[in-house]
A and B are shown apart, each in its own frame.
Chain A
């Protein structure tokens, strides 16, 4: 199985900050990397897939980049609604493994 890692595990930031989360795959997954946002008690929400394609309705302050084994999620200007957990997931090979998550909280 492909192992996914994320860094940092926790990120403290302020409204308006630029935030970057990194995700690494244990082997190449081309561009088949998705990012999800999850708030407490809610289902995850797809933000980005195929590394950089923004899901319909997701604000443009979210962007993704990378290919192969290293990927990033960037929030250009953190908004109050963005404090949440973020997970990456490879969608190239079954099982579609998730990263362990990054918690973005208020500084």
Chain B
């Protein structure tokens, strides 16, 4: 069955960078878009953007700074979220989730990656 497996928790200092991976299995990777969703501690869900796994074209939520970059390694069915110049307020759980545009929304989620930014 479809599965998204994310990389493990990260502890980083302010100003550092981190790259979170999201590996897909059990389905045709190029058929579904990969979305990134952020959840700050004790808060709700925030859609950060998406990357079209067929074209490689990313779309970022308005207001999301250039700190955040989505990328793919399609031959290994993996999507990445890279966050640069980390700030304490970037501390959150980051989820990847697939959707089938025009059909089902986020029907398969990664387990989440906790990124903690602390000096």
Residue ranges of A at the interface with B (Cβ–Cβ < 8 Å): 1, 34, 36, 38, 42-46, 49, 55, 87, 89, 91, 94-101
Contact = CB atoms under 8 A, between A and B. Distances in A.
B89 to A, nearest CB: 19
B88 interface: no
Nearest to A90: B105
Contact of B111 (A38, A43, A94): A43
A95 B47 contact: yes
Interface in B80-98: 95, 97
Chain B: number of interface residues, binned into ranges:
20 to 34
22 contacts: A36-B45, A42-B111, A43-B110, A44-B45, A44-B97, A44-B106, A49-B104, A49-B107, A55-B107, A87-B44, A87-B45, A89-B45, A91-B99, A95-B49, A95-B61, A96-B47, A96-B99, A98-B44, A98-B46, A100-B44, A101-B44, A101-B45
Interface in B28-72: 35, 37, 44-47, 49-50, 59, 61-62
B103 to A, nearest CB: 9
A96 B104 contact: no
A55 B37 CA distance: 20
A91 B105 contact: yes
Nearest to B99: A91
A105 to B, nearest CB: 15
Given A44-B45, A95-B62, A97-B47, A89 B105 contact: yes
Given A44-B45, A87-B45, A34 B106 contact: yes
Given A46-B107, A49-B104, A96 B35 contact: yes
B24 to A, nearest CB: 14
Contacts of B105: 34, 46, 49, 89, 91, 96
Given A89-B105, A91-B105, A96-B35, A43 B112 contact: yes
Nearest to A33: B105
Nearest to A91: B105
B109 A43 contact: yes
Nearest to B6: A43
A45 B59 CA distance: 23
